[in-house]
Amino acid sequence: MSGGGDVAARRATVHGRVQGVFFRHSALERARSLGVAGWVRNTERGTVELHAEGAPDAVDALVRWAHRGPAGADVQRVDVDEVEPEGLGGFEVR
C-alpha cells in the first residue's frame, strides 16, 4: 500500500452471470497487479462479493474493473459501499 497515504476500502457485490467464469481468479490477478489488498468470494445468492483496500486510485480501478469483469462474465449491476479497512496485507480468494 502507499506509504503514508490515505487508505480507501470498498465492498462491492457483483450481480449477473459472474460465477463459473473465472471472476474470482481474474479479480485476484487484477488486484495484485494494482497493489490492492482484500478478498473475493462467491455468495450463496449467485453474486460475487469483493472487498478491496489500499490506495484510493487503485481501489477505484479495481471497482471499475468489477463493472466489466473477465471475458465470459455478464455483469448486470455492482453495488458498492465504502467500508472500514480491515488492515489486510494481500489479496485472496475465499
Domain residue extents for the chain: 21-86
Residues 39-86 have pLDDT tens digits of 999 999 999 999 999 999 999 999 999 999 999 999 999 999 999 999
Q: Which fold has domain 21-86?
A: Alpha-Beta Plaits (3.30.70)
The whole-number average pLDDT for the span 5-16 is 94
Could you confirm whether 42 is annotated as catalytic?
yes
Active-site entry in 17, 24, 30, 77: 24
Regarding predicted confidence, which is higher, 4 or 81? Answer: 81
Q: Which of 11, 17, 41, 42 is catalytic?
A: 42
| C-alpha cell belonging to residue 71 | 471475458
3-state secondary structure of 24: helix
- The answer to whether 68 is a known catalytic residue is no
The set of residues, in sequence order, having a beta carbon less than 8 Å from that of 3 and lying 6+ positions away, is none
Q: Which pLDDT band, with edges at 50, 70 and 90, does 1 fall under? A: very low
Q: Is the pTM of this model over 0.75?
A: yes
Under 8 Å between Cβ of 62 and 27: yes
